[in-house]
Structure 1
Amino acid sequence: MKIIKYLLLIFFIISFIIFLLPFLLKGILNIGNIAGMIVSLGCFLIIFFNKPLHHLIFSKIILSFIIILLAIISTCSYKILTNMNILPQEETTVVVLGCRVKNKKPSLALKERLDKTYQYLNENPKLQCILSGGQGANEEISEAKCMYQYLVSKGIDPHRLYQEDKSTSTRENILFSYQLIKKENLPKAITIITNEFHEYRAQTIARRLNIKSYAISAHTAWWLFPTYFVREIFGIVYEFIL
């Protein structure tokens, strides 16, 4: 039993460090890594002090909460993992979902999306692309403009790129992009490019807006994925409540 205890302690120490890494390396602190660090630390302390759940105050409430939480995490994880890539079966308009801009340059997550977009547009030279993202209070330029500058600098024809620079959320990204698609008479079906953890929520929103959509996912750095994966679970729950 001691070996299992030590292995669990090591696991939760590593888990805590992984959720801490985004903050140490990039100053990223959000509900994803905060929740991950709290849960990792809490589990570590429970195991370290040898206080099994049935000895805790309100153990039935805590156990019920854990069961519900595990059910939510399992369901969301399945949905995320099975919606990462849904390859287009027809001509579509590419829609790239925005992310934070730092000093007029794309954040790491946004750069991952743009690199996948660059690859996909080169592989499909006839497709048009909408870059979707407004300007936040802490951003010097809109996310759409930042994406436009990045792709043009890498050689993408600017005539293939449209900027949607008013949106402030994933829902607005998709809705405002679709309005621009109709205005410019582009193909109505869309291919959404975003990070893999984000695709399921984006696809769900598109379906609720009656927009036919497909998914091409950008790869997320391993040390960022757990943080954004947990954060996305909160986003999915919020989307369904909304």
Structure 2
Amino acid sequence: MKRLRSILKGIGMGLCVLGFLWFLMPLLKGGTGIGMMLGVAVCVLGFLLLLGYRLLSRKGSWQRIAVRVVSVCYVLGLCWCGYLTILMSSAQSRVPPPGTNVMVLGSQVYGIEKMGVSLTKRVERAREYLAQNPVANCIVTGGQGSNEPCAEAEAERHALIQMGVSEARIFVEDRSSNTRENMVFSRIVAEENGLGTEIVIVTQSFHMYRALMLAENAGFNPYALVADTDPVLFPLYYGRELLSLTKWNLEQLFLE
């Protein structure tokens, strides 16, 4: 039994080290943020708990209680993250019927002709879909942030037109500042232009579940169209989405 515990401890510490390195990967491309810091903190805490649990549990009563409480909370937190990860993965299976209209969710832009990596991937995926579904229309979304020179929707529209998509197929929602507003204002655009309630959401895999839930809340019948994610930056986005989903669930629980 003692040998088994040592093996399991070693495996756990090894996984914490690998996780630590994985969450630091975005630094290779200059990426940083709260999602990365969350992942790093979780891995470091897990390593320290595995390293010092037996020592602290043998000390005085308050150290024993403290390390056990922290350990239980840590395990529950990992279970919660696992649950959210399953939801993120399952959301990608909502395949749209042919010809369904598409919505591109906004993200960072640096100019009318320069979009961030995530938004570029979304626009490219939407263009592929529109080429395969010539009867489908497109709603581009996203307002102008304080650090952006133009509305995200305008950059998306410009890019799609440059890629050969007819301007008549593109409808603009340029007032939103977050995903919830993307959906609310896009629903108004859809109603005003007779686009119906069935919509294909274009975003990255980690973001799809929350996007679909918010689309449903806004009155859409949504489907998933997953855009590529830079694998080096994925840990950053994944950690940030875990926090966003936790915040969203708390709002659903206490504010609605």
TM surpasses 0.5: yes
Q: Which amino acid aligns with 2:22?
A: I
In 2, the alpha carbon distance for the partners of 1:71 and 1:5 equals 19
Q: Give the 3 Å change call, closer, same or farther, for CA 152–29 of structure 1 in structure 2.
A: same
Could you say which residue in structure 2 is the equivalent of 1:161? 170
Unmatched tracts of structure 1, length 5 or more? none
Matches within 5 A, 1:50-199: 50-52=51-53, 55=56, 57=63, 58-89=66-97, 91-104=99-112, 105-199=114-208
Structure 1 residues 90-147: Cα deviation after superposition (integer angstroms, max 9, x where no partner): 6532111011113441111111111111111111111100000011111111110111
Report the Cα offset of residue 208 of structure 1.
2.1
Alignment partner of 1:20 out of 5, 9, 24: 24
* CA distance in 2: counterparts of 1:54 and 1:212, whole angstroms: 54
- What amino acid is aligned across from residue 19 of structure 1 in structure 2? F
- 5+ residue gaps in structure 2? 58-62, 252-256
Take 1:223 and 1:53, find their aligned partners in 2: how far apart are those partners?
Answer: 36
Normalised by the size of structure 2, how large is the TM-score? Answer: 0.84
Instruction: Indicate the percent of aligned positions where both proteins have the same amino acid.
Output: 29
Letter matched to residue 39 of structure 1: V
Moved more, 12-21 or 101-110: 12-21
Counterpart amino acid of 1:55?
L
Query: Which secondary structure does the structure 1 equivalent of 2:201 belong to?
Result: strand
Asked if the contact 2:111–2:148 (Cα under 8 Å) also holds between the matched residues in 1, the reply is yes
Matched to 2:104, the amino acid is V
- Cα separation, 2, equivalents of 1:23 and 1:176: 35
Secondary structure (helix, strand or coil) at the match of 1:52 reads helix
Is residue 105–residue 140 contact of structure 2 (8 Å, CA) maintained in 1? yes
1:39 CA displacement: 1.9
Q: Given the superposition, is the C-alpha separation of residues 45 and 240 from structure 1 closer, same or farther in structure 2, using an over 3 Å criterion?
A: closer
Aligned equivalent of 1:222, options 216, 228, 231: 231
Larger Rg over CA atoms: 2
The number of equivalent residue pairs is 239
- The letter for the 2-side match of 1:63 is S
Q: Where does residue 44 of structure 2 map in the other structure?
A: 41
Cα RMSD for the two superposed structures: 2.2
Change (3 A) 1:67 1:8: closer
* Cα separation, partners in 2 of 1:121 and 1:54, compared to 1, 3 Å: farther
Give the structure-1-normalised TM-score: 0.89
The CA distance in 2 between the partners of 1:108 and 1:92, in whole Å, is 25
Q: In the aligned structure 1, how far is the partner of 2:229 from the partner of 2:93?
A: 14
In 2, Cα distance between equivalents of 1:61 and 1:3:
24
CA contact (8 A) 1:91 1:187 kept: no
**Counterpart code for 1:52:** Y
Structure 1 residue 223: deviation in Å? 1.6
